Structure 1
Amino acid sequence: MNNSGRNTSPRPGWHFDNSYTRLPEYLYARLNPVPVAAPKMVIFNRALAQDLGLDAGLLAGEEGAAVFSGNRLPAGAEPIAQAYAGHQFGHFTVLGDGRALLLGEQITPHGERFDIQLKGSGRTPYSRNGDGRAALGPMLREYLISEAMQGLGIPTTRSLAVVLTGEPVYRETTLPGAILTRVAASHIRVGTFEYLAAHKKPDGLRILAEYTLRRHFPDQIEAENPFLALLQAVQERQVSLVARWLLVGFIHGVMNTDNMALSGESIDYGPCAFMDRYDPATVFSSIDHGGRYAYGRQPFIAQWNLSRFAETLLPLLNENEETAVELANNCLNAFPELFRKTWLSGMRAKLGLFNEEEEDAALVHDFLACLQQAQADYTNTLRDLALETPPDGPPFRHPAFIEWQQRWQLRQSRQQEPIQASRELMDAHNPAVIPRNHRVEAALEAAGRGDYAVLETLLEVVARPYDHRPEYAAYREPPPASSQPYRTFCGT
């Protein structure tokens, strides 16, 4: 689409090179955002803007409100809605960007490439019965959680801005409309490959696979079998990502294949949440009735999703179908042990263990069993373990936990490193704060009333989660007791 007739912004520092639009056009639809009535900047990520090479001062005002609402296109933008499919709760569906538009790919001053996407920018050819819009609360949730994940050191899409549209959206109630600007290494998903496989586009599969290799795994292009190398590389990144989720108690909530980015970034913060009391069966999503995406099931779902990805690659892995299936299975069968080693390595660091011993897995699993039995807070217990004098409360007074502590201290004593080094290792891997669900809800509720101070303070707290700051001690407190389980909701 030619944007010559559209009000475009020649500044401030946009440098687009839109490689995805050079792929076959059945992978996307070209269209412009739907203009909104009265755009108003709600929150703007100045630090991220600067990293992207943008003029943060200019974009923080009316210019940014116009651009991030879709009312004004940045110079060089080529807006597209991307096509993809996905297994949603195990059921295959043809999807696409029903309320999002990729403006283009920003090249940073360091030569990095990032998608700039508007979420909530209006109807697209993939909207089905949706209105293409988004409400303020879910967009602020994505902004908050994605920035919290960044602070935790977990690969994630980022949030650049949230803009009020000045128009209502209609869900169960009437809500203020908003648009989020999302920044991602790319939006290539398992579901993108599923879309091509479902539409029997073998040439498109090869083109997209080669594109993904060039964009995310250039060191694998010259491999003996580059498409098998692609599967292996994607699997390694997903293993690392999901292990990191578990290590901080994060529950994605909707691990559909269209929400698995091949870049290895966490994407789509809908009904996500952080676990308080340790329980591998924890589910927060209101739509996950069977617990498919429970905290402890996330590794199994990641492997299931990768299996769907592998199925799309079979024609590329080998001309002989049996050989292709064997190659894919050999890769996928390595997932459980690769994940176990990755997660166990992370748990060793959280327990202040520098070396490896054969009984470490049992030590870790017994620790988690103690937490579950005592209904102990996952984050706080791990952080408190590093204290010279842990608090006198649950689970530290529980008989099984006392016996476990003795084993753990004996294990630490066999290391060459001093105990102080172990404590420093633990503090570096156990966050003092996470975005507690009750704190997130309080921030979103206040924002709904037009008070953004609560949200801004929470953002400041979660930006440095490993720092012990006495003034933010209240943010470590678990939620108050409630007869109702906490529930999160999808924003669509």
Structure 2
Amino acid sequence: MYTRLMPTPLPAPYFVAASGPAAALVGLDVEALAQEAFVAAFTGNTLLPGSEPLAAVYSGHQFGVWAGQLGDGRAILLGELDGPEGRMELQLKGAGKTPYSRMGDGRAVLRSSIREFLCSEAMAALGIPTTRALVVTGSNQRVMRENIETAAVVTRMAPSFVRFGSFEHWHYRDKPEELKTLADYVIDGFYPDLRGAANPYKELLAEVTRRTARMIAHWQSVGFMHGVMNTDNMSILGLTLDYGPFGFMEAFDVNHICNHTDQGGRYSYANQVAIGHWNCYALGNALLPLIGTVDEAQEALDVYMPAFEAKLDELLHAKLGLTTVLDGDRALFDSLFTIMQASHVDFTLLFRQLGDLQADAPKDQPELHDAPLRDLFIDRAAFDEWALRYRERLRAESSVDAERRAAMNRVNPKYVLRNYLAQQAIEQAQNGDYAGVRDLLAVLEHPFDEQPGKEHFAALPPDWAAHLEVSCSS
């Protein structure tokens, strides 16, 4: 299941940033994380008391192709901590070579470590199931990617880092005892209520499938794109795992591909729902020897689309400030995304500003009442037509503008981790100034608040940001 080994130290490690909310989950003082002893421990230069580090083995499908054995090629698990909300595993990403590094150097670079750190905490603040990031440390040791960069380590946290590919590994090696051992470990540790089921392995597949579907519904509702939904990047707990070439939708394009490496668009925004289902099938195939029959596995997998659709419907009702459910709501949602697509409207700005629409505004002269919203659309007439239908729907439930606006602002973020914001913070950090990372983190920890003086973090991306590309290189 794993290999015990020590992290490889980095020379002269330094502190970049730490997350207060993540520290609270494991009972740590966020201010203390900047101290030399913690920096050394969370870089892999010294061990925390009681730590017995290890790297786990797993396999997986990458871009739909069986890749064989993979594993923690640069991640090393330090151990578990009991916190106020339960146990959390602490894992160093970028801590050096392991037996599973293949051709890799076992390192992460400052650029990718900052991106993972910021996005993990941004997603948590948005209420989306995710692994967490405790702290980022860096070193001036050089690392070669497309260019020479410097090394960094991000400390990640989750109740478990077991992946779909962890099960695939033992299935494809025809190791039924190891497969059962792993499944029993996951059930007993994280799904104990399933132990009493007639077929606990079938119920495990069903629950993981359900959680995965709901997680992806959350992604779709905020315009988040993972970028590399390989089975080795899928959490058995339904958490967003492994932040590489991710992106938040800006100019809406349902076929947008956030990963420059993904030339075929397998992991586009439009495809995430189907790929999530495909990955659950891969997990079901791995668990089949334990479940028993194909029919039973299929029954477990059949929960995916109902769970996804129910969660997305719930989220979209909230995003549009609707407190009741009527027959025409799905058509109203679909038509909104259609006009968003036609005008490539900024995803985050639209939903945030939609809360300002007045339900009882006169039908004539919409430019006097909906100017900020209308100006987001190239085809303003299409928005005017949709807004008429939306107002009728609001009046059908006697919506009160002030109450609805407050409710919508609690679910439609003003601030998300736009690529250009991350890039600005990264470039500042690469020049030795980490204040940009910390300032951006502070904003992202409260994505629904107005935050006076921070409005520039919610601005449309500048022209130069159109040329930003993210890939699997990290």
Deviates more, 1:186-195 or 1:218-227: 218-227
Q: 1:419 aligns with which of 401, 404, 417?
A: 401
Aligned alpha-carbon RMSD (Å) = 1.6
Secondary structure of the structure 2 residue equivalent to 1:470: coil
Q: Which residue of 2 aligns with 1:17?
A: none
Cα distance in structure 1, aligned partners of 2:335 and 2:38: 52
Shift in Å, 1:482: 5.1
After TM superposition, the structure 1 = structure 2 runs for residues 45-64 of structure 1, keeping only pairs within 5 Å, are 45-64=19-38
Q: Which residue of 2 aligns with 1:234?
A: 208
Q: Which residue of 2 aligns with 1:224?
A: 198
Q: 1:475 aligns with which of 441, 446, 457?
A: 457
The amino acid that maps onto 1:450 is G
Q: 1:308 aligns with which of 282, 286, 291?
A: 282
Query: CA deviation digits over 1:359-378, x for unaligned, max 9?
Result: 11111000000111112111
Secondary structure of the structure 2 residue equivalent to 1:182: strand
Is 1:96 aligned to 2:65, yes or no? no
Shift in Å, 1:57: 4.5
Q: Which residue of 1 aligns with 2:150?
A: 176
Shift in Å, 1:412: 1.1
Shift in Å, 1:483: 9.3
Is 1:330 aligned to 2:299, yes or no? yes
Q: 2:3 aligns with which of 26, 29, 36?
A: 29
Is 1:399 aligned to 2:377, yes or no? no
Query: CA deviation digits over 1:98-144, x for unaligned, max 9?
Result: 11100111112x36111100111111111111111111110011011
Deviates more, 1:73-82 or 1:330-339: 330-339
Q: Which residue of 1 aligns with 2:427?
A: 445
Is 1:455 aligned to 2:430, yes or no? no
The amino acid that maps onto 1:131 is D
Q: 1:375 aligns with which of 324, 332, 344?
A: 344
Secondary structure of the structure 1 residue equivalent to 2:280: helix
Q: Which residue of 1 aligns with 2:61?
A: 87
Cα distance in structure 2, aligned partners of 1:375 and 1:127: 41
Cα distance in structure 2, aligned partners of 1:111 and 1:246: 27
Q: Which residue of 2 aligns with 1:361?
A: 330
Is 1:344 aligned to 2:313, yes or no? yes
Query: CA deviation digits over 1:80-102, x for unaligned, max 9?
Result: 11000011001111101111100
Q: Which residue of 2 aligns with 1:192?
A: 166
Cα distance in structure 1, aligned partners of 2:355 and 2:175: 55
Cα distance in structure 1, aligned partners of 2:14 and 2:463: 37
Cα distance in structure 2, aligned partners of 1:155 and 1:50: 17
The amino acid that maps onto 1:425 is A
Contact 2:213 2:305 (C-alpha < 8 Å) held by counterparts: no
Cα distance in structure 2, aligned partners of 1:111 and 1:141: 26
Cα distance in structure 1, aligned partners of 2:213 and 2:107: 33
Q: 1:385 aligns with which of 331, 334, 354?
A: 354
Cα distance in structure 1, aligned partners of 2:20 and 2:405: 34
Contact 1:434 1:465 (C-alpha < 8 Å) held by counterparts: yes
The amino acid that maps onto 1:418 is V
Shift in Å, 1:476: 1.7
Cα distance in structure 2, aligned partners of 1:479 and 1:50: 33
The amino acid that maps onto 2:330 is A
Query: CA deviation digits over 1:372-417, x for unaligned, max 9?
Result: 1112111111111111454151228611111111111101111155
The amino acid that maps onto 2:154 is L
Secondary structure of the structure 2 residue equivalent to 1:175: strand
The amino acid that maps onto 1:378 is F
Secondary structure of the structure 1 residue equivalent to 2:55: strand
Secondary structure of the structure 1 residue equivalent to 2:294: helix
Q: 2:125 aligns with which of 151, 155, 164?
A: 151
Shift in Å, 1:434: 0.9
Q: 1:114 aligns with which of 88, 91, 103?
A: 88
Q: Which residue of 2 aligns with 1:263?
A: 237
The amino acid that maps onto 2:181 is I
Cα distance in structure 2, aligned partners of 1:449 and 1:355: 52
Percent of aligned pairs with the same amino acid: 40
Calculate the TM-score normalised by the size of structure 1: 0.90
The amino acid that maps onto 2:336 is F
Secondary structure of the structure 2 residue equivalent to 1:73: coil
Cα distance in structure 1, aligned partners of 2:452 and 2:40: 40
Shift in Å, 1:343: 0.7
Q: Which residue of 1 aligns with 2:365?
A: none
Q: 1:486 aligns with which of 463, 468, 474?
A: 468
Is 1:433 aligned to 2:422, yes or no? no
Cα 1:55/1:333, change in 2 over 3 Å:
closer
Contact 1:412 1:419 (C-alpha < 8 Å) held by counterparts: no
Cα distance in structure 1, aligned partners of 2:135 and 2:428: 18
Secondary structure of the structure 1 residue equivalent to 2:442: helix
The runs of 5 or more residues in structure 1 that have no matched partner are 1-26, 319-323
Cα 1:398/1:55, change in 2 over 3 Å:
closer
